[in-house]
Structure 1
């Protein structure tokens, strides 16, 4: 009887030394994500790569999508039948404020521990409880801020992955973060070399909060506002995002997020012409949607244009911090822009914008405010209170634009000394003491004689100080107010660049030129001033000419129509050319008076001759009709 053949490895199983293939189960939720993604237009191969699944598995799931849809519908119906317990309103309010507090810390790249979050949550909860009637507060359970609550809080407020990694629970996590931070500059340099990027093509962006209408605490303006009832504008904050490249020669147009889309100061303002990109949401914070819009509509076109100007290939390395707002599909939005993130927990050490750039920006912003205050009050045209009362968020936006423009290239370049030292060609750091000294001198010149460098330091640091429970309460109340509060007096104010305003502008220009010509002993300097201001005002001259021609054309049609009606009715003789001209002049004069009235009245406005009603005859620079 022949011997039995030995059992081969194929029949008995895998040969020795070969690992058995691990079977990976796919949940119904993942299957439905795959089905929805493919039905939305995403390619199956991209879905398999994104989820780390074999392409065959994805194809099988798509082939059985009808079965999975029925299963999901049954489970959803069962979920609806479950009895849920309504959470107390105090928990909703506490978590809203806690979320705002965490967002504020995140803007300043401040690492927080789980213990610190638990303490803050209990503190906010206790404050809210004390504000309730005693009989209602007695019914509430004790809030312990346990770990289970925290994990559910993370899920409810999308503090997943990124935020969790920034919350350290011990020395081991901190040591790991330090080690990652130590390797990051070397890893970044390798990535830059392998990708063939030049320092001009390496960009960084960072966001921060700014109280746009805040004065030093010991000024009588801040004391007066602190004691005033209602909303305090000094506590109204905007979020700003700035960005630049490693050489510092290219700044991106900053992003500004306000709580309102159309505050009163923005009436009739073309937002696309502002020095910052205007966005809004209730919390005045940068969300994923806000960042995505800014990235697609502004960052990509700006970077493309910059590479074209510099005769470089359009490829960019963008270095960002791990913010939930940055959790977008950059590769799908623009494959030419590669994004790398700073290691969690050590952003403040490596982030270039944190190495003096943001501090310099804030100092520049307050310089702009104080300079504007000095200019407005130097001839006693306005008091300090009047200037500060008129200072609107539109003024703040222009000050933000000038402050960002004043940040020097060397400061932007030197800020990369920790993350990308090879790119630094001239090391420069912000001299904070000199900056505070300059601000203190400006404050004294503005009339705040008791403000010293310590007060300036407190002012700069107040923008990044952790929010108190009272400030969180104010922000929470503000986020639920109407975007535009009814105010008849303010609502009636409407900005118009009308013919009378333009004429008044040229009166001032001519008066300034005449004043210089009469008093400057250096004729060439006076002539240079005149030609420069005339050239700068040319765009407004064209605008005035256009408005005058359009107004003349419209009024001529009105007069001709009236003349035709008079001919048909035969109630009066036909007007001759002189009569028609008189009618036109009268209509134009009435129109001009109405425009002046609409502007609230121009006290210095006076009628000239009949052909140029609002222009003195001796001002030859003003365009004529």
Structure 2
């Protein structure tokens, strides 16, 4: 009679490794034997795949040795501090361990059920960092301490890697997130002061997050990822997700998170890049450059055979990351051009600025964002890589030229707006007001509730187009085409 099998505890990383082997067609019996467990156990791993991937995302680099994932003892403080840390990280402000401990004690006051016994000990801080994959807390200030020497070193190392692995510019990608306050007008105009005090105006509900991604040659721009607050906003609830010109996702504060980024990487980046490479006769091999934001999982999670990621070192992102070298700024200029053109058109028809802004919904944002991204020229994308990859094109000028000021001055109430104020408007998304402890506490306490609808300021639902209306519109469009004279 065979002896009882010795209990084997396998790490989360090994379990995911085993699942990937099954995906490639290996027999479950052979996989189970290699890990010293039963076939039923391996089957359980595969059935619990989504949970394991979520655990790996949460635990970051610590997943390589962790066997199980237990919830945090002070779960609300844990989540609240991570929200605050992400906020500071987006602002480029330095954060150290003692600062985090002090802030955690302050946030604990928002959660009476946890505050009595919470002490923010060093051991608790170490476990918090491991859960969220956070390292080198004292070096988080990208904008405050950009490292030119570090960028030069990274460029040399990266160009060596590109040469050794044989990557072409078509196979090298970069992506980055940015906030977009989609209704915001220049803060110093008379018109925007009227807007700010308008009934029902809620500035903190106007933000979405945008993820843009392109390769170094500018030949492949992936569809934007747009993160809103609502699962299914009213303005788009009758539109199938696959019909969107962007990849729409939702999160209660409209920020990027690790699980959303991992989902985008697996469902969008890998399939679209693989399709692009195959179409152009290139091997299925690519590299994605990322900054070390807390919302980005580690390399072991973001990988699919020869499609891999590489992180920028601390403090070089703001001066070296291609998307930060004019690409996202150009995208926002194009978006705000579309916004101003919409306002100008409706103002000419008698609408006030306040009415124009209130009419903008998430559907407008999705389609304007897609148009703005399409308008970013290939030359702009190519030149954005100048600090990472050597190029024969030595010009630092951005190819796209969007004159917002001339459009702005045509809008009633904005005739006297200063050009500097118009230029500052492009960067106002990066100056979002910091959330208070009360607001963070409210976000955490309401995490299980349904996300707020981003269309709160609308008074009526967007009506669904009937089959009859759609057919009539199609017939009119066909008649219009038939009546047009043939082009010479």
Instruction: Sort the TM-score into its range (normalised by shorter chain).
Output: 0.7 to 0.9
1:85-144: CA deviations, max 9, x gaps?
986xxx94x764543343234446655444665676677679x69xxxxxx9xxx88999
Give the TM-score of the pair, scaled to structure 1.
0.58
Structure 1 residues not aligned, in runs of 5+: 1-28, 45-57, 67-84, 130-135, 515-525, 533-625
Aligned residue among 394, 399, 408 for 1:443 = 408
Aligned 8 A contact 1:413 1:426 in 2: no
More helix by share: 1
Question: Which one is further off, 438-447 or 102-111?
Answer: 102-111
Q: Partner residue of 1:411? A: 380
Q: Partner residue of 1:154? A: 129
Q: Does 1:399 align with 2:368?
A: yes
- Superposed, 1:200-599 pairs within 5 Å as 200-219=170-189, 222-227=192-197, 232-233=202-203, 235-327=205-297, 334-380=304-350, 382-420=351-389, 422-423=390-391, 425=393, 427-430=395-398, 438-447=403-412, 448-465=414-431, 467-470=433-436, 473=439, 476-477=442-443, 482-483=450-451, 493-500=462-469, 502-503=471-472, 527=485
Q: Partner residue of 2:135? A: 164
Distance of 2:426 and 2:8 partners within structure 1:
48
Q: Does 1:104 align with 2:54?
A: no
Aligned residue among 151, 160, 163 for 1:193 = 163
Structure 1 residue 188: deviation in Å? 0.7
Structure 1 residue 467: deviation in Å? 3.6
Instruction: Sort the Cα spacing of 1:32 and 1:165 in 2 relative to 1 into closer, same or farther, 3 A.
Output: same
Instruction: Sort the Cα spacing of 1:440 and 1:527 in 2 relative to 1 into closer, same or farther, 3 A.
Output: same
Aligned residue among 11, 33, 39 for 1:33 = 11
Cα RMSD (Å) of the superposition? 4.6
Structure 1 residue 271: deviation in Å? 1.9
Instruction: Sort the Cα spacing of 1:481 and 1:350 in 2 relative to 1 into closer, same or farther, 3 A.
Output: same
Structure 1 residue 509: deviation in Å? 8.3
Partner SS for 1:343: coil
Distance of 1:113 and 1:467 partners within structure 2:
21
Distance of 2:322 and 2:303 partners within structure 1:
25
Of structures 1 and 2, the larger Rg is shown by: 1
Partner SS for 1:500: helix
Aligned 8 A contact 1:203 1:245 in 2: yes
Higher relative contact order structure (alpha carbons within 8 Å, sequence separation ≥ 6): 2
1:416-474: CA deviations, max 9, x gaps?
11111x24635333499x75xx2222211122223222322443222112642359828
Distance of 1:34 and 1:372 partners within structure 2:
51
Distance of 1:479 and 1:459 partners within structure 2:
32
Distance of 1:242 and 1:439 partners within structure 2:
22
Q: Partner residue of 1:596? A: none
Structure 1 residue 186: deviation in Å? 0.9
Instruction: Sort the Cα spacing of 1:426 and 1:480 in 2 relative to 1 into closer, same or farther, 3 A.
Output: farther
Distance of 1:383 and 1:446 partners within structure 2:
10
Aligned 8 A contact 2:235 2:461 in 1: no
Structure 1 residue 267: deviation in Å? 2.2
Distance of 1:396 and 1:34 partners within structure 2:
39
Instruction: Sort the Cα spacing of 1:314 and 1:148 in 2 relative to 1 into closer, same or farther, 3 A.
Output: closer
Distance of 2:206 and 2:233 partners within structure 1:
13
Give the TM-score of the pair, scaled to structure 2.
0.73
Distance of 1:121 and 1:454 partners within structure 2:
39
